[in-house]
Structure 1
Amino acid sequence: MDELRQQIKDLMVNELMLQMTAEEIGNETPIFSPEGLGLDSVDALQLVVALEKKFGLKFPDAETARNVLRCVDTIAAAVPAAE
């Protein structure tokens, strides 16, 4: 699971061109709140596409996406469900 979390963080840094390293992203850091990474809706779309391509994750609706894209831990928990 730690390797999966690291892959998710690396994907976020590379795909979203974040001005931080993967190591600076906490597993429970909120992705979209100002107190967390502060990403926006454009970032969300890019992240969804990247997660679908790399891990096969599918987001059937906005509610599912909101629940999964809360933090690295929630994304990691959804990955095995997609496999």
Structure 2
Amino acid sequence: MADAALKDQLKAIISKATGGAVSVAAIGDDVALMDLGVDSMAALEVVMELEMQFGVSITDMEAGKEAFTSINSLANFVEANRS
């Protein structure tokens, strides 16, 4: 299980990627990110931030879909693939 600090960091990245349209407070750990309005452009920005901040790459479409299910799944993906 990912720690709260990582989840908070990911929430901030997602909020920034949506231009603030999705507030950090609105992002629950199990809420589907796409239901919050995280579109493909925001998702791409999140992927770039994950690479810069954590050294994590999402190169496979299927892995990306699974990782972007929720904050919990994204945090677990980051922890499992951190360099």
Q: TM-score range by the shorter chain?
A: 0.7 to 0.9
* Contact map agreement 1:16 1:47 (CA 8 A) in 2: no
Separation of aligned partners in 2, 1:16 and 1:45: 11
Separation of aligned partners in 1, 2:25 and 2:67: 21
Matches within 5 A, 1:30-45: 30-32=32-34, 36-45=35-44
Separation of aligned partners in 1, 2:74 and 2:11: 10
Q: Normalized against structure 2, the TM-score is what?
A: 0.84
Structure 1: which 5+ residue stretches go unaligned?
none
Q: Which has the higher contact order (CA 8 A, sep 6+)?
A: 2
**Which residue is 1:65 aligned to?**
64
* Contact map agreement 2:22 2:37 (CA 8 A) in 1: no
Q: Structure 1 vs Structure 2: percent identity of aligned residues?
A: 26
Aligned length: 80
Matched, 1:24 2:23: no
* Contact map agreement 2:56 2:81 (CA 8 A) in 1: yes
Q: Normalized against structure 1, the TM-score is what?
A: 0.84
* Contact map agreement 1:15 1:46 (CA 8 A) in 2: yes
Separation of aligned partners in 1, 2:80 and 2:40: 24
Separation of aligned partners in 2, 1:20 and 1:45: 16
CA shift, 1:13, in A, is 1.1
**Which residue is 2:10 aligned to?**
8
Separation of aligned partners in 2, 1:19 and 1:40: 11
